[in-house]
C-alpha cells in the first residue's frame, strides 16, 4: 500500500495550521444579556441598504464563548443557505469519519497469474477518493508492473459499486449539469489538477500563430474519452476574444467555438464529463499502456469485483483534514457530495444521498440543532430547496468548538483578505485593509439570488463572535453588505458589564 500526499496542499495547509489556532476563550467580561444598543444600531443601519428592498436577510450573531445571541434579524426564518450547507455536511463528516480518515482505490485480479500474464480480468475499484489523479493511476500501474504483470488476458473492468449509481443530486438544474460545480458523483473518479474537481476535464484554447487558423486546444488530462469539436478562429491581434466551451448534454462532445486574437490570452474551462467512471477507466488503461502492460480483452464500466479476487495494489488518499483545504477554501461541491455518500456507506452501508443526509440530520440533532426546522437535500448547497435558519447556522458553529477536530475544521475556512489561494480561499480578495483582514474566518455561499457568509470574527477588544448572514431574493450583489457587517463586528467594542 502506498500513500501520495500532494506538495501543493501540504505547505498551504501547514501554514494555515500555524497561522490560525483554535479560538480560545478570553477573559473579557461581557454582559451578553445587556442589549448592545450601538451594535444593534450599526447593524440595523447597514440592513437598510436599498439592495435589500424586497429581499430577505437572516442574521444571527452570538458570543462564541457562551452561545448567547447578541443580534438577530429573521434568524428563525428558513432560508436557502447555498454553500453554507457545507458547514453542516463538513461538520457531520468530521464527526462521523474523523480528520485522519482516508479513501482507498484498489486494483484486484480475478484469475491466476502465470508467468507475467493474468489469466482473467483486472478490476479498478473506487471507494470514493475525490483526489485521485492521473499520477496516482500511473503509480498504481507501475506497482502492477513491479508485481510482474505484463499482460491481462481478460477484460479491464471498473467497479464503482461502493456508492449507488445515482450521479446527480435531485435538484441539480439542467444548466449546471455540464459545469465543474455540478459534476456527476461516482465512487471511481479522477481529478484533472490539484483543485480536485473530480469528474471534470480542463479544456484550454490558445491562439494559433496565424490568423484564420483554428485555436490550439489543450485537454487536461489528455484523453479520447471526450471529443473536442474545434469551431474557433484566430483573428487579428486587435480582434475580439469571444470563446465559449460547452459540453453537449447527454454526450461527451465538447464544442469550442468563437474567436481568439493572435496575441490574446488563453480561454479555459472545467467541464464535467458524462459518466466519470468511464473516464477513470480510460485513463487507467493509458497508465497500463505507458507501463507496457497489455490488455487483451475489452473495457467495461459498472462491474462488481468478485469476492475471491486478489488485491494487487491499493492507493490511499490524503487525510480528510487535508482534503478539507480545497473542499472548504474553494467550496468544492463534489467533495461535499462524496462526503455525504461516504457517511451513508459507513453508517448505513449504503452510499446514497438519502442515507448520507440521514447521518447529517442525526448528528445535528445530537448536538442540539433543531433538525426539524431544516430541509437538507444535498451536501453542497447547490439545491435551491435546502432551507436553514440563520440561528441554526450560528448554533452549529457554537456547538462544534469543543470537538477535537475543530482546529482542522476552523483552519479549512476561508480567511478574509489573505491573498494566498489555499488560505484566503473564496474571500481572499474581500475585506482587505480592514479590521476583518486575516481575522474573519468564514464560509461563503452563492446561488442566483442567494448569498451567505458565516463564521468567526474577533472584535476590537479580543472577544470572539460567531455570525451567520444569509440573504435571499435580492436582485443586486450583496457581498458588500456582508463585508460591511463583518468589518463592523471586527471593529466593535462590546458593551462591558457594570
Residue in 60, 80, 86, 329 annotated catalytic: 86
Looking up cell 442515507 gives 355
Annotated catalytic, 86?
yes
Tell me which of 143, 169, 331, 383 is the catalytic residue.
331
Same domain, 77 and 108: no
Q: How far apart are CA 191 and CA 207, in angstroms?
A: 26
Do 383 and 346 sit in the same domain of this protein?
yes
Identify whether 16 is part of a domain. yes
Q: How, if at all, do strands 104-114 and 310-316 pair? A: antiparallel
Q: How confident is the model at residue 37, as a pLDDT?
A: 80
Q: Cell 489561494 appears where?
A: 421
Find the helix packing angle between 134-146 and 276-290, rounded to 10°: 50
Rounded to 5 degrees, what are φ and ψ at 412? -85, -15
Residue 194 resides in a domain = no
- As a whole number of angstroms, the distance between CA 243 and CA 240 comes to 9
Q: Are residues 242 and 363 in the same domain?
A: no
Instruction: Give the end of a domain, one of 257, 272, 287.
Output: 272
- Residues 479 and 343 occupy one common structural domain: yes
**Domain-ending residue, one of 294, 317, 340:** 317
pLDDT number for residue 497: 52
Residue of 60, 80, 83, 186 with catalytic role: 83
Does a cis peptide bond (omega within 30 degrees of 0) precede residue 17? no
Q: Which three cell numbers stand for residue 393?
A: 447556522
Look up 7 and say whether it is catalytic.
Answer: no
Q: Residue 18 has what pLDDT?
A: 41
* Same-domain status, 247 and 387: no
Q: Are residues 123 and 43 in the same domain?
A: no
In a domain, 384, yes or no: yes
CA separation for the pair 414, 482 (Å, rounded): 14
Tell me how many domains the chain contains: 3
Provide the pLDDT for residue 325: 98
Q: 144 is in which domain, residue-wise?
A: 104-166+275-317
417 & 451 share domain: yes
The DSSP code sequence of 113-144 is EETTEEEEEEEEEE---TT--HHHHHHHHHHH
Question: Is residue 175 in a domain?
Answer: no
Pair (349, 298) in one structural domain: no
Q: What was the pLDDT predicted at 203?
A: 98
Q: Is residue 118 part of a domain?
A: yes
User: In a 3-state reduction of DSSP, which class is residue 59?
Assistant: strand
Is 466 inside a domain boundary? yes
pLDDT at residue number 26: 41
User: What does pTM read for this prediction?
Assistant: 0.91
Q: CATH code at 460?
A: 3.40.710.10
User: Is residue 352 flagged as an active site residue?
Assistant: no
227-235 and 216-220: which strand pairing?
unpaired
Q: What is the pLDDT of residue 147?
A: 94
The CATH number of the domain holding residue 294 is: 3.50.80.20
Per the DSSP assignment, residues forming a β-bridge with 86 are: none
475 lies in the same domain as 389 = yes
pLDDT per residue rounded down to tens, the chain (498 residues): 333 333 344 444 444 444 444 444 344 444 544 456 889 999 999 999 999 999 999 999 999 999 999 999 999 999 999 999 999 999 999 999 999 999 999 999 999 999 899 999 999 999 999 999 999 999 999 999 999 999 999 999 999 999 999 999 999 999 999 999 999 999 999 999 999 999 999 999 999 999 999 999 999 999 999 999 999 999 999 999 999 999 999 999 999 999 999 988 999 999 999 999 999 999 999 999 999 999 999 999 989 999 999 999 999 999 999 999 999 999 999 999 999 999 999 999 999 999 999 999 999 999 999 999 999 999 999 999 999 999 999 999 999 999 999 999 999 999 999 999 999 999 999 999 999 999 999 999 999 999 999 999 999 999 999 999 999 999 999 999 999 999 999 999 987 654
Q: What is the structure's pLDDT at 17?
A: 41
Q: Judge whether 185 lies within some domain.
A: no
Same domain, 348 and 471: yes
Angle at 479 between CA 475 and CA 484, to 5 degrees: 125
Q: What pLDDT does 496 receive?
A: 66
Examine the domain organization and report whether 338 and 438 are in the same domain.
Answer: yes
Q: Which of 317, 349, 372 is the last residue of a domain?
A: 317
Q: What is the pLDDT of residue 494?
A: 86
Residues 379 and 487 in one domain: yes
Q: Is position 187 within any domain?
A: no
User: How far is the C-alpha of 285 from the C-alpha of 278, rounded, in Å?
Assistant: 11
How many other C-beta atoms can be found within 10 angstroms of the C-beta atom of residue 425? 25
Amino acid at each position: 500500500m502506498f500513500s501520495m500526499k500532494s506538495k501543493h496542499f501540504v505547505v498551504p495547509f501547514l501554514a494555515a495550521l500555524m497561522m490560525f489556532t483554535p479560538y480560545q476563550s478570553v477573559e473579557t467580561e461581557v454582559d451578553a444579556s445587556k442589549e448592545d444598543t450601538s451594535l444593534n444600531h450599526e447593524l440595523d443601519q447597514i440592513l437598510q441598504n436599498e439592495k435589500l428592498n424586497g429581499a430577505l436577510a437572516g442574521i444571527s450573531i452570538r458570543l462564541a464563548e457562551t452561545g448567547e445571541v447578541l443580534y438577530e434579524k429573521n434568524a428563525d426564518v428558513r432560508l436557502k443557505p447555498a454553500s453554507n450547507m457545507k458547514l453542516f455536511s463538513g461538520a457531520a463528516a468530521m464527526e462521523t469519519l474523523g480528520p485522519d480518515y482516508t479513501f482507498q482505490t484498489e486494483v484486484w485480479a480475478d484469475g491466476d497469474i502465470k508467468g507475467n500474464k493474468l489469466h482473467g480480468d483486472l478490476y479498478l475499484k473506487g471507494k470514493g477518493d475525490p483526489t485521485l489523479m492521473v499520477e496516482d493511476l500511473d503509480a498504481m500501474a507501475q506497482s502492477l508492473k513491479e508485481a510482474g504483470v505484463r499482460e491481462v488476458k481478460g477484460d479491464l473492468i471498473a467497479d464503482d459499486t461502493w456508492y449507488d449509481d445515482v450521479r446527480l443530486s435531485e435538484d441539480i438544474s439542467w444548466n449546471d449539469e455540464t459545469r465543474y460545480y455540478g459534476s456527476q458523483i461516482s465512487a471511481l473518479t479522477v481529478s484533472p489538477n490539484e483543485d480536485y474537481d473530480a469528474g471534470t476535464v480542463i479544456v484550454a484554447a490558445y491562439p494559433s500563430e496565424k490568423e484564420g487558423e483554428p485555436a490550439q486546444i489543450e485537454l487536461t488530462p489528455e484523453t479520447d474519452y471526450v471529443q473536442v469539436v474545434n469551431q474557433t478562429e484566430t483573428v487579428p491581434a486587435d480582434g475580439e476574444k469571444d470563446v465559449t466551451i460547452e459540453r453537449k448534454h447527454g454526450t461527451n462532445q465538447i464544442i469550442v467555438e468563437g474567436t481568439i486574437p493572435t496575441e490574446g490570452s488563453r480561454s479555459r474551462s472545467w467541464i464535467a464529463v458524462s459518466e466519470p467512471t468511464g473516464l477513470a477507466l480510460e485513463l487507467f488503461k493509458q497508465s497500463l499502456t505507458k507501463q507496457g502492460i497489455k490488455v487483451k480483452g475489452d473495457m467495461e464500466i459498472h462491474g462488481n469485483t468478485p469476492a475471491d479476487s486478489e488485491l494487487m495494489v491499493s492507493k490511499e488518499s490524503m487525510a480528510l483534514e487535508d482534503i478539507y483545504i480545497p473542499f472548504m477554501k474553494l467550496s468544492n461541491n463534489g467533495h461535499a457530495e462524496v462526503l455525504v455518500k461516504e457517511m451513508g456507506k459507513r453508517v448505513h452501508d449504503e452510499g446514497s444521498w438519502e442515507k448520507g443526509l440521514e447521518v447529517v440530520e442525526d448528528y445535528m440533532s445530537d448536538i442540539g440543532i433543531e433538525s426539524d426546522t431544516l430541509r437538507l437535500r444535498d451536501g453542497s448547497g447547490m439545491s435551491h430547496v435546502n432551507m436553514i435558519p440563520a440561528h441554526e447556522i450560528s448554533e452549529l458553529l457554537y456547538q462544534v468548538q469543543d470537538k477535537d477536530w475543530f482546529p482542522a475544521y476552523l483552519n479549512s475556512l476561508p480567511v478574509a483578505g489573505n491573498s494566498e489561494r489555499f488560505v484566503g480561499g473564496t474571500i481572499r480578495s474581500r475585506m482587505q485593509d480592514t479590521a476583518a483582514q486575516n481575522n474573519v474566518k468564514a464560509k461563503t455561499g452563492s446561488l442566483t439570488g442567494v448569498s451567505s457568509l458565516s463564521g468567526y470574527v474577533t472584535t476590537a477588544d479580543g472577544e470572539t463572535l460567531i455570525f451567520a448572514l444569509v440573504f435571499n431574493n435580492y436582485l443586486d450583489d450583496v457581498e458588500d453588505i456582508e463585508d460591511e457587517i463583518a468589518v463592523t463586528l471586527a471593529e466593535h467594542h462590546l458593551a462591558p458589564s457594570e
